[in-house]
Amino acid sequence: MRKQIAAANWKMNLTASQAETLATALATGVTHLQAGQQVILGVPFPYLILVQNKIAGNQNLFLSAQNCADKLNGAYTGETSVEMLQSISIPFVIIGHSERREYYHETHSQLATKVDLALAHNIQPIFCCGEPLHIRETNTQNEFVEKQLKESLFHLSNAQMKNFIIAYEPIWAIGTGKTASSGQAQEMHAHIRQVLASQYGIETADTVSILYGGSVKAANASEIFSKPDVDGGLVGGASLVASEFISIIESLKPGA
């Protein structure tokens, strides 16, 4: 069964008290999911344990870190390792978000290492891919995203790829108010699944949840999520408002 996922990315937002308020609202507001649905909260590092305590007992909510180091431990001031995340029972980590690629120049090779470290420590990566505007304008987005997938993921085994999570985020639609049409989202998601199928087979490709990210809101979530290859969303700004994010969660399809 392919999970349908609403994943929040809080990015570098909220004070501790605001994070506590939001987590409490979600813990009390997300009380029932349909079969095969899942909610993941991508929380800033300082608030992971705080939010973990607030959502304890709610079996619908899971925590994710927003990044991890490409080293296991050592003299890397300011970094956070998968070993640290595992030690506080964090089950997910976002890897390769476009902001990490753009602002911190993370390479395909570094991201492959991060994926390996996460999996070795029983942490599920949420692997991000997506094209900038100039690539979309030259209609080479399929090749661009395919390269991202091949160079960071295609060393994985079939078993490792089963039930993987990929988030497609057209960079030109992140935080801009622009959104890929539901048709554009479906087109790229179907392409990603085809690329996975060419390497791992259709059976494995059909287990991979592919999320859409890029100005997802309560107003457009149902239309985007209705597409057959769109398995939910990675939500930025709208996830910072409990009522908005709960509405997005309610737009998920049942698990496929």
Q: Which of 234, 190, 192, 209 is nearest to 96 (CA)?
A: 234
Count of CB atoms within 10 A of residue 140's CB?
12
Q: Has 108 been annotated as catalytic?
A: no
Q: Has 121 been annotated as catalytic?
A: no
**Cβ atoms of 108 and 121 closer than 8 Å:** no
Q: Which backbone phi and psi does 214 adopt, to 5 degrees? A: 140, 85
Active-site hit among 99, 106, 169, 244: 169
Would you put residue 188 in left (φ > 0), alpha (ψ -120 to 50) or beta? alpha
Q: What is each CA distance from 158 to 189, 207, 208, in whole angstroms?
A: 19, 11, 11
Positions annotated as catalytic residues are 97, 169
